[in-house]
């Protein structure tokens, strides 16, 4: 187990990724049948647009190109390979039934420009999903347009701004707890609000006294994640809503963590005015790699006039249609009607589970997180002792004494065959290890994960350097993550030396 460094097998060879370097003149992965039509003068047809010099396009055989792409796929990690405990991301299993349904001809080939008359099935999917989400959240109306959680936040705050503007009393500030997801303050700033930080109390919840002191007629809204990013349920949410409402403010709930609540409690019942959902988290549509996602926004009645155009309505003859005549709408926030393929998958998930299944899912997600918490309690520091919901946040306080930080432990997990948990977030926990197993994981996988985490803690005692330099089993070890994000090397360039280390 110690180093777990696989022998220098082919797939860890640095150059294996560079199909260009396998290129050999005359090699080909294709063969065309002899022409059975007259030859065309391509020069006459294309003129200057014709390219005769294909530059440095690689010439490779069929088996080489197949191996190239198959090999690339094995350098990746996926929920279909093992546990993906990335906290706050709800990397749950994407059920195959969702894919099956979304690929049905009539659904996959539906075009957004086809007339409503022949789109009734697609519109019915949108309507049924909207109704299900309203039942789950206890809210009054919903838009499915936003294409991600952060996009939902933007839409929600635009609605809040329109609401205050309509009262002739625009407000300046948005309150955000110090435990919030980074997208919350970014969104508030984008909409033109000043962000005011709200302190958490010793239990990791909103400090209600601090909120009371900070709340005034300048505050448009509080953006609150519930359960919050510590995985803790905001027990005083009713009181928080009352404090805001008493001074004319609105309560925005970041619903990205609804996996802990679905089927148990409804935000509409605890005073939330606007919220977004992440279909790509809670409702099992695939995510990662930049999308597509879906972040519907559900609201209370008083915000309905401002919802994005168009809104789906039921006509008196029972058919569905889009209503564009919404003079107070904030306008469109996305082309067409949103990411329709995600709606289909989310609805398939909801209907396949049914109310009892969804409730069971929530209970299992919370149970799994608490199983992890119990299993690692003595090994890693637990900064907040409040009850955990769907995720648990430890800190690296104990391991830091040996010079090993959360990032090192996360990297070492890769050697054990797991995707890392979330590091360094939430910001109020220095050296955070944020772990969200989701309901998808069987007990056997959770036990393997616990064993890996305990084993790493043991390694830190005996050989901290081993963990500090992990991962040892991957093709490349530690990358400059900032440079990888800011200056990605996305294509191969001939005679460039840097690609070898950065590809
Ligand atoms: C994931 C997440 C978001 C952002 O959602 P995206 O779809 O990634 O834009 C916002 N808030 C919380 C709490 C989240 O976990």
List the one residue out of 488, 476, 459 whose CA is nearest residue 3: 459
What SS3 state is found at 131?
helix
Atom number in ligand 1 closest to CA 280: 7
Distance (angstroms) between ligand 1 centre and the Cα of 228 equals: 12
Distance (angstroms) between ligand 1 centre and the Cα of 132 equals: 21
Between these two residues, 290 and 374, which has the higher pLDDT value?
A: 374
Which pLDDT score, from 0 to 100, does residue 300 have?
Answer: 98
List the one residue out of 450, 469, 472 whose CA is nearest residue 460: 469
Which pLDDT score, from 0 to 100, does residue 143 have?
Answer: 98
**What phi, psi does 181 have (nearest 5°)?**
-65, 145
Say how many CA atoms lie within 13 Å of 265 toward its Cβ. Answer: 18
Distance (angstroms) between ligand 1 centre and the Cα of 295 equals: 9
* Domain-wise residue ranges, the chain: 97-351, 357-486
Predicted confidence band of residue 354 (pLDDT cuts 50, 70, 90): very high
The architecture CATH gives domain 357-486: Alpha-Beta Complex (3.90)
Distance CA 309, CA 332 (A): 5
**Topology (CATH) of 97-351:** 3.40.640
Best of 87, 233, 254, 294 for a ligand 1 pocket test (most atoms within 8 Å of beta carbon): 254
Which pLDDT score, from 0 to 100, does residue 125 have?
Answer: 98
Distance (angstroms) between ligand 1 centre and the Cα of 256 equals: 6
Distance CA 71, CA 86 (A): 24
pLDDT higher than threshold 50 for residue 503: no
What SS3 state is found at 142?
strand
Are 343 and 121 in contact by the 8 Å Cβ rule? The answer is no
Q: How many CB atoms lie within 10 A of CB 483?
A: 11
Which pLDDT score, from 0 to 100, does residue 494 have?
Answer: 63
Once rounded to an integer, what is the mean pLDDT over residues 145-169? 97
Best of 91, 183, 393 for a ligand 1 pocket test (most atoms within 8 Å of beta carbon): 183
Distance (angstroms) between ligand 1 centre and the Cα of 297 equals: 13
Peptide bond before residue 84 is cis, with ω within 30 degrees of 0: no
Predicted confidence band of residue 12 (pLDDT cuts 50, 70, 90): very low
pLDDT higher than threshold 90 for residue 2: no
Once rounded to an integer, what is the mean pLDDT over residues 296-302? 98
pLDDT digits (tens, 9 = 90+) for 428-477: 899 999 999 999 999 999 999 999 999 999 999 999 999 999 999 988 88
Report CA dihedral (197, 203, 204, 207) to the nearest 10 degrees: -20
């Amino acid at each position: 187990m110690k180093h777990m460094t696989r022998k220098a097998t082919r797939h860890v060879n640095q150059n294996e990724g560079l199909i260009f370097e396998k290129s050999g003149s005359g090699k080909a992965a294709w063969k065309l049948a002899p022409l059975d039509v007259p030859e065309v003068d391509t020069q006459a047809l294309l003129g200057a647009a014709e390219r005769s010099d294909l530059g440095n396009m690689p010439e490779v055989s069929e088996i080489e190109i197949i191996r190239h792409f198959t090999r690339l796929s094995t350098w990746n990690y996926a929920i279909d390979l093992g546990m993906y405990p990335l906290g706050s991301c709800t990397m749950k299993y994407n059920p195959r039934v969702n894919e099956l349904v979304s690929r049905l001809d009539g659904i996959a080939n539906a075009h957004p420009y086809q007339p409503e008359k022949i789109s009734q099935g697609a519109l019915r999917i949108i309507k049924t999903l909207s109704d299900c989400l309203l039942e789950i959240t206890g809210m009054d109306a919903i838009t499915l347009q936003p294409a991600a959680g952060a996009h939902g936040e933007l839409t929600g705050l635009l609605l809040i701004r329109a609401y205050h503007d309509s009262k002739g009393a625009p407000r300046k500030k948005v309150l955000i707890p110090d435990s919030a997801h980074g997208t919350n303050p970014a969104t508030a700033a984008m909409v033109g609000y000043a962000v005011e930080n709200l302190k958490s109390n010793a239990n990791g919840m909103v400090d209600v006294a601090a909120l009371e002191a900070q709340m005034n007629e300048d505050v448009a809204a509080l953006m609150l994640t519930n359960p919050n990013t510590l995985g803790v349920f905001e027990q005083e949410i009713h009181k928080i809503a009352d404090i805001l409402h008493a001074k004319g403010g609105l309560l925005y709930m970041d619903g990205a963590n609804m996996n802990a609540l679905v089927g148990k409690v409804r935000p509409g019942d605890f005073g939330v005015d606007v919220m977004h959902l992440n279909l790509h988290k809670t409702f099992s549509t695939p995510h990662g790699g930049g999308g597509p996602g879906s972040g519907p926004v559900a609201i209370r009645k008083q915000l309905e006039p401002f919802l994005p155009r168009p809104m789906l309505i039921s006509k008196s003859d029972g058919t569905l249609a889009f209503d564009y005549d919404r003079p107070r709408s904030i306008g469109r926030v996305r082309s067409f009607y949103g990411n329709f393929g995600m709606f289909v998958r989310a609805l398939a998930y909801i209907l396949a589970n049914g109310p009892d299944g969804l409730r069971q899912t929530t209970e299992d997600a919370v149970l799994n997180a608490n199983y992890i918490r119990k299993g690692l309690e003595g090994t890693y520091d637990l900064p907040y002792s409040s009850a955990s919901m769907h995720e648990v946040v430890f800190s690296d306080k104990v391991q830091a004494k040996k010079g090993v930080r959360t990032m090192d432990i996360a990297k070492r997990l890769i050697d054990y065959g797991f995707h890392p948990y979330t590091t360094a977030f939430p910001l109020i926990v220095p050296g955070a290890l944020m772990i969200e197993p989701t309901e998808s994981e069987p007990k056997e996988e959770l036990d393997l994960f616990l064993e890996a985490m305990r084993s790493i803690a043991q390694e830190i005692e005996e050989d901290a350097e081993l963990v500090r330099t992990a991962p040892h089993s991957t093709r490349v070890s530690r990358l400059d993550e900032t440079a990888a994000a800011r200056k990605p090397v996305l294509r191969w360039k001939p005679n460039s030396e840097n690609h070898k280390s950065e590809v």
